[in-house]
Amino acid sequence: MPINAYTGLMGSGKSFECVVSVIVPAVAKGRRVVTNVDGIDSDAIRAYINEKQGIALEKLGEVVLPKRRRFQG
């Protein structure tokens, strides 16, 4: 299982590139994707793939956000 890191300046398109090149294709293949992309919506991605590629919703993977803990220091 690879771990991809996208780096660059703020506003340079890192999140967009990650969603278009990694997340959407993986979900279309039925994979579960764990990401920390802020504001990502698994249902919207699945609906987009269903509409554009015609893949049944039950065959699609999902996008999961890790639980965030607040550290007190």
pLDDT for the residue numbered 4: 77
Q: Can you give the residue ranges of every domain in the chain?
A: 37-67
pLDDT for the residue numbered 59: 98
Q: What is the pLDDT of residues 17-32, one digit of tens each?
A: 999 999 999 999 999 9
pLDDT for the residue numbered 66: 86
Left (φ > 0), alpha (ψ -120 to 50) or beta: where does 30 sit?
left
Q: How far is CA 41 from CA 2, 9, 12, 44, in A?
A: 22, 23, 21, 5
Tell me the HSE value of 34 on the side-chain side, using a 13 A CA sphere: 6
Q: How far apart are CA 32 and CA 71, in angstroms?
A: 27
Q: Six-digit token pair at 66?
A: 């890790």
Does 68 score more than 80 pLDDT? no
Does 1 score more than 70 pLDDT? no
Q: Six-digit token pair at 17?
A: 């590139």
